[in-house]
Amino acid sequence: MKLKYYLFFILFTLTVISLSSCHNDDEIIPSGISNQSWQEGKAIEITQGKVLSVTFNAADKWTATTNSIWCSILTPSGEKGQSTLQLSTMTGTSTGRTSTITIKVNGYPTINFDVKQNIGEAPVSEDMTVNTKVAQYLRENYLWNDEYKTLSLDYTKSYEKFFYDALESMTTNTLDKKPYTGSDGKTYYSLFSYIDKRTPITATRATRLVDKELSYSFGITGLTLVSIGSSSSDYTIYFCVQGVYPDSPAAKAGIKRGAMISKINGEKISQSNLEHNYYSLMLPDAVLSLTLTEDIIEKGEKTGSKDTPLTSKAMYLNPVITSKVEEVEGHKIGYLVYSGFEASFDQELFDAFKKFKSQNVSDLILDLRYNGGGHTISANLIASCIAADASIDRTFTSLRYNKERMEKLNNKQEIELFAYPNHYKNLSTPLTEGGLGLQRVYCLVSNKTASASELVINSLRGIDVKVILIGEKTKGKNVGMEYKDYAVEGHIYRVAPITFQSYNAKGFGDYEKGFEPDNGLKIKETNPFNQEGMFYILKDYGTNEEPLYAKAVELITGKNPMKSAITRGAHSALKGQVRNVPALHRPGYDGMLKKYEEN
C-alpha cells in the first residue's frame, strides 16, 4: 500500500513538472535585463560632447555593442546587478542619424534600443577629441578603473581640467592622490598621474626605444628655497643651487652646487616674485637672458657678491651629473650622481658603469637624493649592473594591474626579469661590461627620491643585495604609469595614469610611506648636525665636506673624512629655514614609466 502511494506521488510530481515546462516554453524568454531607463520603441537623444547614461539591472555579466562608428560606447561591459551604460559622440551632423545599441547578458537573448543625434550640432573641439580618447584609456587601464567608470564626466572641459578634475574627485585612488599641507595650513591633494601636451623643440634617436629631446634650460638641476634671518621682518630669500647639468650655460658660467642666489636681474627675491623667478630659472620656455646675483658667504658671513649673466639654450639634459672613481683607504669607491631615469641617456649611464668596472670598484655610492624617477628600463639597467651574476634569471619586479587586466592574466602578476647579462633592449648590447657584482650599495636619498629610484632599492633588496640608505626618508611611490601618446589635430598628447603597482622578488610592494634610512644614518643635508634653526650651505658633490657622501665613505672605510672639514671651518652655517618650493609641473617627475603596449 505504501509503495502504491509512493509511486502515485512520483507520477504526480513528474506530471506537474512536465506541465510547468510546457507552460514556460510558451512564455517569452526574458532578456536578463530589468528596470531599464529607456522605453521600448522610443529612441533616446544623444548630444555631441555630452555623455548619455542609461541604467538597468542585469541578471549576469553583460557586453554592449553599437552598429555605428559615430556613437561610442564608453562602458562596453559590466557585472551582474545595477549597471550604467555610458555613450557619447564627438562629431556633429548636418542630418539626423540613429544608432542601435545591443546589450547581451550572459545566458540570455540580446536586447536593443536606439539613440539619435539631432541635426546641426557644431564640430567637436580638439579638447573633446582628446578627452574621449583619454577617458577610454583610463576606463581600460587606470588601476582604480572600477570607480572611474562610475564617474559622470564633462567632455567639454579643457583636456587638463577633464583629466585632473576626474582623478581628484575619486576616493579609492589613494596610491595616486596624495595629501599635502599648503602654506595656508589647509590640506590639498596632488596626483602622480599626469597628462601633457608635448611640444619638444626637436628629438634625436639616441637609443633603440627612446629619443633624446631638446629643452630650453639654464642647466640648473634644482633649487632649495631658504629664508635667512632671525625674524619675519628681517630676512633674505635665497635660491640655493642643488646642482648643474654638465656642459650647460650654468656650468660654463661657473655656477656650482651651493651657489646662494639672492637677486634676479638686480631685484631681490621676495615672497611676491619668488614663484615667477623660480619657474623662469627652472623651466624657461624659450631663449631667456637673466643676471643672477650670487652672495659670497664664508664662515657664516656675507663677504661680497658677484653678478653672473646667463642665457638659456636648447639642450639635452644629461642626468649623469657626476661620475667618478676615488681610492680611499685601500677602497676603490665609485660615485654616481643620477638626477633622473631618462632612458634616452642609457648609453651615458652604461658608460659610467663600464668605467666603474674597468677600474675595479669595490664599493658604490649611488646618489639619488633629487631623483624623482623616470623609465623603469633605466632602473633595470642600474640594478642589473650593480648585482650582475646575482640577478641572472631573477625577478626584477612583478606588476599588479586592475581587476579586469589581472583576470586576463589568470590573476598572475606580470614578471619582469633583471636584464643582466642579456642584450639590453634599449641599447642592443649585453650588460656584462658594466656588471659590478656588488653585495651592497650605499644610496644617498631624500624626500625627493621617488618612484623608479625606489624601484631600484626595492628590486635589489628582493634578491638580497644590501641597500644602505643615507639621508632622509624617501617619498613613497610604489605605483607606476604606462604612458600612451595620442596625435590630435597635429599635436601630441601624452597621458600617463597610474596603471600598476610594483613588487620585488620577495613579493614586497607596500612602501607607499617611503623607505627609512638605516639606524643612525638619517641626515638632513641642509642641517647635518641637527642644530635648530640653522641652514648649512650645500657643498659640492663627492667632496669630504658633503655630509651624505662623507658618511658613506665612513661606512666603507671606517674613517670620517668630514671631521677635518669641520675643523677647517669649511661649513658655512646660517640662521635660516628651508621652505617649500613652488609646485614644479614637470611631467614624468615622480614617475615609474613604461610605454603602454597592447596585449
Instruction: Rank 202-211, 456-465, 516-525 by mean pLDDT and report only the highest.
Output: 456-465
pLDDT digits (tens, 9 = 90+) for 424-465: 999 989 999 999 999 999 999 999 999 999 999 999 999 999
> Would you list the DSSP string of 114-175?
EEEE-TTPPPPPHHHHHHHHHHHHHHHH-TTHHHHTT----TTS-HHHHHHHHHHT-SS-TT
Q: How far apart are the first and last CA of the chain?
A: 69
Q: Give CA–CA dist 481/593, Å, rounded.
A: 5
Region of poorest pLDDT, from 58-67, 94-103, 258-267, 453-462? 94-103
User: For residue 73, which amino acid is it?
Assistant: I
CA distance 77 to 60: 11
Q: How far apart are CA 64 and CA 84, in angstroms?
A: 11
Return the bridge partners of 536, or none. 573
Percent of the chain clearing pLDDT 90 (strictly above): 64
Is residue 19 scored above 50 in pLDDT?
no
User: Which residue(s) pair with 65 in the sheet?
Assistant: 102
Of residues 74 and 273, more confidently modeled: 273
Return the pLDDT at 183: 58
- pLDDT at residue 27 above 70? no
Q: Name the nearest CA neighbour of 257 among 241, 245, 246, 238.
A: 241
Task: Calculate ∠ Cα 327-333-334, nearest 5°.
Answer: 125
How sure is the predictor about 264, in pLDDT bands with cuts at 50, 70 and 90?
very high
Q: Which three cell numbers stand for residue 215?
A: 629643452
The reported pLDDT for the residue numbered 3 is 47
Check if the beta carbon of residue 493 is closer than 8 Å to that of residue 530: no
What average pLDDT does the structure give for the chain? 88
Q: What is the mean pLDDT of residues 332-336?
A: 98
| pLDDT(569) > 60 | no
Question: DSSP class of residue 287?
Answer: -
Residue 415 phi/psi, 5° resolution? -105, 135
| Mean local confidence (pLDDT), 182-187 | 69
Asked whether the predicted pLDDT for residue 12 surpasses 70, the reply is no
Q: Count CB-CB contacts under 10 A for residue 183.
A: 7
CA distances from 565 to 34, 322, 325, 547 (A): 79, 21, 21, 10
Reported confidence tier of residue 231, pLDDT bands at 50, 70, 90: low
Structure-block grid coordinates of residue 123: 564640430
Q: Report pLDDT for 445.
A: 98
Reported pTM? 0.84
Confidence of residue 181 (pLDDT cuts 50, 70, 90): confident
